[in-house]
A and B are shown apart, each in its own frame.
Chain A
Amino acid sequence: MGRIDSAFKRLKSEGQQAFIPFLMAGDPNLEMTKELVLEAQRRGADIIELGIPYSTPLADGPTIQRAAKRSLKNKTNLTAIFSLVEELREETQIPILLMGYYNLIFSYGLENFVKEAERVGVDGVIIPDLPLGEDQELRAYSNNLDIVLLVATNTTDRRLKAAAQNSSGFIYAVSTPGVTGAREDLSLEIKKVIDKLREYTGTPIAVGFGISKPEHVKDVHSFADGAIVGSAIIKKIEENLALLPDSEEEFIAKVGELIGELSGRDKG
């Protein structure tokens, strides 16, 4: 059983749900990303989602776009991100997913990507612009790598069913129509989608996009198996960039505090 499946199984047996923070790899640099991943685990993260920065991210709002821009300034690429995961694996067994646009993976070579991801200890991949129907090629190469599919509030029943059958690790449900970004009110349209998915599959379902506050996380945990938080954490990173490079520990602690508040299970 893979690390993602084990994590959800363990949480279920404990009557808990997953807290999944998103970090842009290389924002503001890869050394800090490594420290942030370890800090996130201490602060209650169950699974980590690492973004691969892209020049033209179609599904992301301005916050994540800015994170990608900061990361790309340091020329962060897949090779460097694989090295980061390899280093992290010496210190942690927390499940790690990569989230990135298909061109980056296609350009790396589908077979090479899967091989390298599996070798360094990446557990899954989320590709926002590779919808069901275009994903067969990548799936053909994968052995242990989970390919997480996204569903949205407007996804048709036919596609929900297909996503339920094909998604591995978990299913990523997009909570609000639109692009990523913190929002005051969390759309609960997604509940209906989750109810339907439950009819088709026992695969865990995590909700992402627009979750920015501890109460959002709690709310999502009342009906889904996991909550994914991205923009709110990136904003905290952004607000504290001035602490670098002199006060790295303070920087990590500031971001860590927020992650702890969001997870509600601060072990730090």
Chain B
Amino acid sequence: MSKGKFGEFGGMYAPEILVPVLEELAKAYDKYKNDEEFQEEFKYYLKQYVGRANPLYYAERLTKKLGGAKIYLKREDLNHMGAHKINNALGQVLLAKRMGKKRVIAETGAGQHGVATATVASMFGLECDIFMGAEDVRRQALNVFRMKLLGANVVAVEEGTATLTDAVDAALRNWVERSEDTFYLLGSAVGPHPYPTMVRDFQTVIGEEAREQILEAEGRLPDYLVACVGGGSNAIGLFYPFIEDKDVKMVGVEAAGQGVDTDKHAATFTKGKKGIIHGYKSYVLQDEGGQIMPVHSISAGLDYPGVGPEHSHLKDIGRASYEAVTDDEAVEAFKLLSKAEGIIPALESSHAIAYVEKLAPKLDKDQIIVMNLSGRGDKDVYTVADKMGVEI
């Protein structure tokens, strides 16, 4: 009877009142995921609106600088609105439309998913409320303004640490109250079934393109895939089409914040244990009594105490490994890519770059790394300037 399991992870640990709503969604998704017309519509907008396919760019100067494996960047930062989040938002809003919903709601951390949701809601003329931790509202003022421009109402959530996890709680509560006319557009590969599967499927376009592109460029598959992991949607989107290719190693990079031995990090795999959060079973950052711990990362998109259940499964079966990178390392990587390649990366993606910095020099020059550059960093320049002690 349990659905949406990845090994022992995932599932539908939701209040009974949400279950019929989730089952309705799962049923609708089951119907449309194999519906040719729906898939064609999705592909059409991915091309015409998002601007896909985006390049798999050979970062030659970065490669030379690090002096090891060849580094390719999957340019999700070049999507419409500047991040991978739009892929999933588009897929879900098309589904919402088919289900006859009039209103979409979403939670957001960095604001990227909120902007993506507001974008697609505005494009399809749906009412839109975005729930955001009050702390994140302050950190991401630019994205808040963008959402408002796009016609969305931004709800600042003051509870708890006033970050992503609290925004998720508030949005879910609102969905329970208004499920009849409302579609909950979840931004990452987390939450109760069917979200982890559905979000992965909508993000799989990243890996599918990357696979084709690397075969075209190099005539072979890469040795490593690297992507940052908060909830883990960009990473699972890149990884999924390569899962059966056993020689392709997959590394997810999580946020070590100020260090995994401090109380300010979001390193779920490094420091968490198995538990239940936000409707699914996975690794969870929690204290001994099972209370969810406050998390920290310089990047709001990685600031999350859970992680997508499929990643937990991939970790436990040894198919993927997960590393942690600190705030400071991410900021250095942010600066490095900006200078070396003329690409300002999102702080989330900078975590993946920081790991590539460690990995590439250890590999041979004929080895290949494909890294997901999940978003652009314009939204983060104030944070980085602040960290560098520069006043703008």
Shortest beta-carbon distance from A167 to chain B in Å: 11
Question: A104–B289 contact, CB under 8 A?
Answer: yes
Question: A133–B289 contact, CB under 8 A?
Answer: no
Shortest beta-carbon distance from B189 to chain A in Å: 19
The B interface is mostly helix, strand or loop, or mixed, namely mixed
**B382 close to chain A: CB less than 8 A:** no
**A120 close to chain B: CB less than 8 A:** no
Residues A133 and B15 in contact in the complex (CB < 8 Å), given A54-B291, A77-B289: no
**B286 close to chain A: CB less than 8 A:** yes
Question: B177–A178 contact, CB under 8 A?
Answer: yes
Instruction: Fill in one digit per residue for B351-377: 1 if any A CB lies within 8 Å of its CB, else 0.
Output: 000000000000000000000000000
Question: B290–A151 contact, CB under 8 A?
Answer: no
7 contacts across the A-B interface (CB closer than 8 A):
A56-B278, A107-B290, A131-B15, A133-B1, A134-B12, A159-B20, A179-B176
Residue on B with the closest CB to A53?
B291
Residue on A with the closest CB to B176?
A178
**B390 close to chain A: CB less than 8 A:** no
Question: B276–A103 contact, CB under 8 A?
Answer: yes
Question: B289–A155 contact, CB under 8 A?
Answer: no
How far, in angstroms, from A136 to B94 measured CA to CA in the complex? 36
- Residue from the set B173, B176, B273, B290 with the largest chain A CB neighbour count within 10 Å: B290
Q: Which residues of B contact A58 (CB under 8 A)?
A: 14-15, 169, 172-173, 278-279
Question: A108–B19 contact, CB under 8 A?
Answer: no
Question: A133–B276 contact, CB under 8 A?
Answer: no
Interface residues of B in 17-52 (CB under 8 A from A): 17, 19-21, 23
Question: A129–B289 contact, CB under 8 A?
Answer: no
Question: A152–B277 contact, CB under 8 A?
Answer: no
How far, in angstroms, from A29 to B17 measured CA to CA in the complex? 31
Shortest beta-carbon distance from A114 to chain B in Å: 16
How far, in angstroms, from A149 to B15 measured CA to CA in the complex? 10
Residue on A with the closest CB to B275?
A103
**B188 close to chain A: CB less than 8 A:** no
Question: A55–B16 contact, CB under 8 A?
Answer: no
Residue on A with the closest CB to B161?
A55
